[in-house]
Amino acid sequence: MDAPVFAKFMKDEFPMASTCSTGSPSAPTGPAIIDSREKLLALGQLSAGLTHQLNNPAAATVRAAAELRERIAGCGRSW
């Protein structure tokens, strides 16, 4: 495949790749892409940690409520 045909194929099928390779001013640069990726990774880790910290007390509350429900139901039977 000659270069012009390959270039047209790449531009038609992978427009993001051709935009990044041409050095368009609006296209993000390599370091900017890496910075954005690192920020998203940090945000994901933060949200996972926060979800974990919120889930632990919520799960404990659900377990305690279920046990209390069982004990109250058991008290009614013995009377």
User: Which pLDDT tens digit goes with each residue over 5-46?
Assistant: 888 888 888 777 655 555 555 666 778 888 888 999 999 999
Domain chopping of the chain, boundaries: 3-78
Candidates 8, 33, 1; CA nearest to 20 is 33
| pTM exceeds 0.75, yes or no | no
Which amino acid appears at position 27 of this protein?
A
pLDDT reported for residue 5? 87
Question: 78 pLDDT band (50/70/90 cuts)?
Answer: low
**Higher-confidence position of 29 and 60:** 60
Q: Using CA atoms in the order 26, 30, 36, 41, what is the torsion angle rounded to 10 degrees?
A: 150
